[in-house]
Structure 1
Amino acid sequence: MRYEDRISIGGTLVWYYYICKREVWLIGHGIEAEQENDYILLGRYIQEIFYTRKRKEIMIDNTIKIDILPGRKVIGEIKKSSKFLESAKMQVVFYLYYMKREKGIDMEGVLLIPEERKRIKVSLTPELEREIEEVIEDIGRILKLEKPPKAVKIPYCKKCAYRSMCWA
């Protein structure tokens, strides 16, 4: 099954999949988080001030928005910290998978964490390709649910912009 035949899944849903399945459902159903949340605002600020000359944001198929590092076939993704490194890595893996499967372009990826001065290379291995295919299928299953998955208290909840929807 081609990606385009599935429910529209973007990198943000993949990122949240590794943190909170309930949040995947909420975002996937167009339920917006509190936009004035300090952590959302900080993430936007970091995205805007770092690497402005070294990247170009590109929307592809009105589905994914990636940062391309000029002069190279490299997808860059900026994060404010390495706290959720696995989810950030898999978001880049998703972008690499999408470009390979839907556009026929093999690329490399890099996670950029400016405040920690980290630059982590990400490659699409056969193992990661299988994992991301399973994740895409499971996200599709979650999005088809009539109601969101039950809230599960995790450390991330303290700073989550959806906190009031789960714990009010």
Structure 2
Amino acid sequence: MSIRGIEMNYYAICRRKLWLFNRGLGLEQGNDRVTEGAVLHEQAYGRLDKEWNITEDAVVDAVEDEWIREVKISSRMEYADRLQMMYYLYLLKERGIEKKGLLSYPKEKKTTDGSSTLSWT
């Protein structure tokens, strides 16, 4: 069974949301916030290689030298975003690829190091 990065994100946000998503009952379809995120993803960081597949189910938003980057709308769920990034870095390390991770929030003009360890507080 393959785990997708979004599942790691949903696990941190709400386990019920993850349960619904895994059963094809994702409530995001047609959601304005999802559409906004897709547009932001396309417009942000145009010079970078976009959507790099680590596995069939794990796709990073952008790649830049030794960095992988996830582009998000808001930093409100930064813990969940960081968990998703740590999962991507783990998958890469399993394949012998050493990268660092960046979490980017273009609307807030904020970028954080997604490689640092998670804090459970």
Which TM-score bucket, shorter chain as reference? 0.7 to 0.9
1:40 counterpart = 2:34:
yes
Is 1:75 paired with 2:65? no
Question: In structure 1, what is the Cα distance between the partners aligned to 2:115 and 2:32?
Answer: 32
Deviations 1:94-151 (A, max 9, x none): 10011112x11121000010011111012265xx5xx9xxxxxxxxxxxxxxxxxxxx
Q: Which runs of 4+ in 1 moved over 2 A?
A: 29-34, 67-70
Structure with greater contact order relative to length (CA < 8 Å, sep ≥ 6) = 1
TM-score (norm 2): 0.88
Normalised by the size of structure 1, how large is the TM-score?
0.65
Residue in structure 2 matched with residue 107 of structure 1 by the alignment: 99
- 1:27-60, CA deviations, whole angstroms, 9 ceiling, x for partnerless residues? 1223332421111111111111111222321223
What does 1:48-59 align with in structure 2 at a 5 Å threshold? Answer: 48-59=42-53
Superposed CA RMSD in Å reads: 1.8
Distance 2:85 2:11 in 1: 13
- AA in 2 matched with 1:93: M
Compare the two structures and name the one with the higher helix fraction. Answer: 1
Task: Give identity over the alignment, percent.
Answer: 36
Give aligned pairs, total. 119
Q: Which has the larger radius of gyration?
A: 1
